[in-house]
Amino acid sequence: MELCRLTIHELQERLRKREVCSLEATEEVFKRIEEVEEKVHAFVTLTKEEAFEQARAADRRIAADEQIGPLNGIPISLKDIFVTKDILTTCSSKILSNFIPPYDGTVVKKVKDAGAVILGKTNMDEFAMGSSNENSYFGVTRNPWDLTRVPGGSSGGSAVSVAADECIASLGTDTGGSIRQPAGCCGVVGMKPTYGRVSRYGIVAFASSLDQVGPLTKDVTDCAILMNVISGYDPKDSTSIPEEVPDYTQSLVADVKGIKIGVPKEYFIKGTDPEVEAAVQEALKLLEGLGAEIKEVSLPHAEYGVAAYYLIAPAEASSNLARYDGVKYGYRSPESERLLEMYRMTKTEGFGPEVKRRIMLGTYALSAGYYDAYYLKAQKVRTLIRKDFEEVFRHCDVVITPTAPTPAFKLGEKTEDPLQMYLSDIFTISCNLAGIPGLSLPCGFSKEGLPIGLQILGDFLKEEVIIRVAHTYEQSTDWHQRRPGGI
């Protein structure tokens, strides 16, 4: 098999046995990128020279029999939201289109210390706001399963780079579904860890009480490997959890006997594509056959999740994005002569329409007289959603739902109707509001050949049980081995 198609654990094995070297693997991945990038546009920036340098260093460590890290010589991509030292970090926005950070964020440092080779920065919805990757200043990313369709978002570039074998694995961020939904659309595995499990230091902030970093990978084993590398307490992130990190690869056991799976009745809603529903029901049957117990549960406040999220996330964004004023870094409007005019022009020219919409929504929700009616109410709904999950996890180990109501939609299909776009997040958002972990993995294909995602949610810091259920399911299916044929 071509090296670019391998998973982390497969490539690790070959590197360890010295059958191949990291430089060869990295060269092959770049060859693949050259072949398909024009069609899919998964990257904003490629860092070829740096990657070759890192690959050579990884090979030297292997040759010298040094102690090597868990990602030694593995080519990965990073969503362009990760702050990377000396490498352009745009968040797919014009306002950061010239921003070269002077430092690496914690997760970037961790993957570098683990020996990874960084291929480049992937395209995304501007400031991670979107579900289709159509909100990028650098143009759309296309779904490798059907180039007329969206890859999902906002970590669409990361999901595509994994699905199209333009990397071995990738890292993204998830504020309301931005890892899981594109993973579902592109037929790869994506995990949002518990809020606070992974450091947010050096991630461009969108909605700080919801943002979380996580892996996008070709299988569940790789997800566990990356979780081991990126998780852990970080004094530089005040919301990071000071808890020991378990070895997630220990959860890669194919056994769900006695596992209790909750299926929320509110999640099989009108508007869910029948093929999606059928694939999820099929997956549940399979897990039941393997010894899991399926129970119907209720998450009565789930239906208010989208409304609460689209108040809380924009409110936090309106505050986080106030820093882009053209003064200290990033884009500055060249035209203006006076300070206030410079602020106004910089923001007017630098932000795209969806980002402006969010800033206005958020500013409105936080303004005097409306705060109680909107923001405060949304926070109360958030508490109710968290309590719903607390109740369910008293007697269930995991909750299973579709990742999204439909497979990947057509490019342009929802751009004129933000509400329709927001509804793509209907199944993923509650998990962020509750702060719990969730994972999406492929569970079938539509008649049109589009991947369908299965979402597994777990209790606070219970990533291990999610990984175990996901791995068991994956071992009994071959969805994860399929690759888009058309590109």
Footprint of ligand GLN (CB under 6 A): 128-131, 154, 174-178, 206, 313, 425
157 neighbors 169 (Cβ within 8 angstroms):
no
445 neighbors 480 (Cβ within 8 angstroms):
no
Closer by beta carbon to ligand GLN, 358 or else 468: 358
Output the smallest distance, CB 131 to ligand GLN, in A: 4
Q: Is the peptide bond before 154 cis (omega within 30 degrees of 0)?
A: yes
Tokens of 235: 């004094």
Tokens of 81: 């939201």
Tokens of 217: 């990978």
Question: Helix, strand, coil % (nearest 5) of the chain?
Answer: 45, 15, 45
What letter represents residue 260's amino acid? K
Phi (first) and psi of residue 101, to 5 degrees: -70, 150
Output the smallest distance, CB 152 to ligand GLN, in A: 9
Output the smallest distance, CB 171 to ligand GLN, in A: 13
Output the smallest distance, CB 212 to ligand GLN, in A: 9
Tell me the Cα Rg of the chain: 21
Strand-pair partners of 216: 170, 190
Closer by beta carbon to ligand GLN, 93 or else 175: 175
Closer by beta carbon to ligand GLN, 120 or else 177: 177
Phi (first) and psi of residue 4, to 5 degrees: -65, -20
Closer by beta carbon to ligand GLN, 213 or else 287: 213
Output the smallest distance, CB 214 to ligand GLN, in A: 10
Output the smallest distance, CB 136 to ligand GLN, in A: 13
Q: Which of 398, 362, 314 is nearest to 127 (CA)?
A: 314
Closer by beta carbon to ligand GLN, 324 or else 427: 427
Quick one: how many helices (H) and strands (E) in the chain? 15, 11
Q: Is 178 a catalytic residue?
A: yes
Beta strands across the sheet bearing 189-192: 43-46, 117-122, 75-79, 169-173, 213-217, 189-192, 438-445, 451-458, 398-402, 260-264, 293-297
Catalytic entry in 22, 131, 136, 154: 154
CA dihedral 158, 163, 169, 170 (to 10 degrees): 10
Output the smallest distance, CB 230 to ligand GLN, in A: 17
Catalytic entry in 92, 132, 178, 430: 178
Closest residue to ligand GLN using C-beta atoms: 178
Instruction: Please identify which residue in the block is written with the tokens 């071509």.
Output: 2
Output the smallest distance, CB 123 to ligand GLN, in A: 14
Q: Is 154 a catalytic residue?
A: yes
CA–CA distance, 425 with 408 (Å, rounded to integer): 12
CA–CA distance, 326 with 317 (Å, rounded to integer): 17
Closer by beta carbon to ligand GLN, 177 or else 484: 177
Output the smallest distance, CB 429 to ligand GLN, in A: 7
Closer by beta carbon to ligand GLN, 211 or else 219: 211
Instruction: Please identify which residue in the block is written with the tokens 């961020």.
Output: 173
Catalytic entry in 77, 79, 192, 446: 79
Closer by beta carbon to ligand GLN, 12 or else 318: 318
Closer by beta carbon to ligand GLN, 131 or else 318: 131
Element (H, E) at 40: helix 22-40
DSSP 168-227: SEEEEE-SSSTTHHHHHHHT-EEEEPPTTTB--TTB--SSTTT--EEEEESSHHHHHHHH
Instruction: Please identify which residue in the block is written with the tokens 């010239």.
Output: 98
CA–CA distance, 324 with 351 (Å, rounded to integer): 9
Coil vs helix vs strand at 425: helix
Tokens of 375: 């923001």
The residues annotated as belonging to the active site are 79, 154, 178
